[in-house]
Amino acid sequence: MPAPKFLDIEYCQTDDALFPTAIAWSLEDGQMKTVVIAPAEEWLPDDGDFGDLDIPYLEEQGVPLLELIQELHQDLPDQTIYVDGLDPDEILMDMIFSALEQDAPFEIAPIAELITGMSSEVLEDRRRHLLFEEGLEPQLPENGVYALLLMAQEAGLFADD
């Protein structure tokens, strides 16, 4: 059985907008990729208030959606990808692929479908505890993926090398 893969998306949510700003995902070998996302023009209302989000930084440093989609197709084809189940990950992923009129090459499922026998609340408590224990900032998507990887390792979901 291949190792489970995980994904986390950081996003901006205001009264005017909801869109992804960064994404991280795990690979077969347990390593991660993380990128800042260049926003699609249609995601940004002309007079929107984005709080302290640095839109010029996202536009200048972010990965264009076409490149991001190509990477996701290459790394996560025809698989189930697990998320923490707290964020609107499916909506955000749909936004990424819909911007270029494509469908995601994978399915998204909450971690509770992978690690069974524990309630979603217990899993979330464990995830938060791991983030705290490791001194990780919860808003960074790579930290969210790392916590999910640790949870899967604790649950014995990775084959011993």
In a domain, 14, yes or no: yes
Strand pairing of 80-83 and 32-36?
A: unpaired
Quick check: is 60 in a domain? Answer: yes
Q: How many domains does the chain have?
A: 1
Residue 63 — φ and ψ, nearest 5°? -75, 130
In a domain, 161, yes or no: no
Q: Which pLDDT tens digits describe the chain residue by residue (161 residues)?
A: 678 999 999 999 988 889 999 999 999 887 999 999 999 999 998 877 787 889 999 999 999 999 999 999 999 999 999 999 888 999 999 999 999 999 999 999 999 999 998 899 999 999 999 999 999 999 999 999 999 999 999 999 886 65
Q: Which burial class, exposed, middle or buried, applies to 47 when counting CB atoms under 10 A from its CB (0-12, 13-18, 19+)? A: exposed
With CA atoms as reference, report the closest residue to 70 among 100, 43, 46: 100
Nearest alpha-carbon partner for 7 in 20, 34, 21, 26: 26
Query: CATH code at 54?
Result: 3.30.420.10
Q: How far apart are CA 63 and CA 3, in angstroms?
A: 27
Residue 22 lies in a domain: yes
**Domain-located, residue 139:** yes
Query: In which domain, by residue range, is 48 found?
Result: 5-154
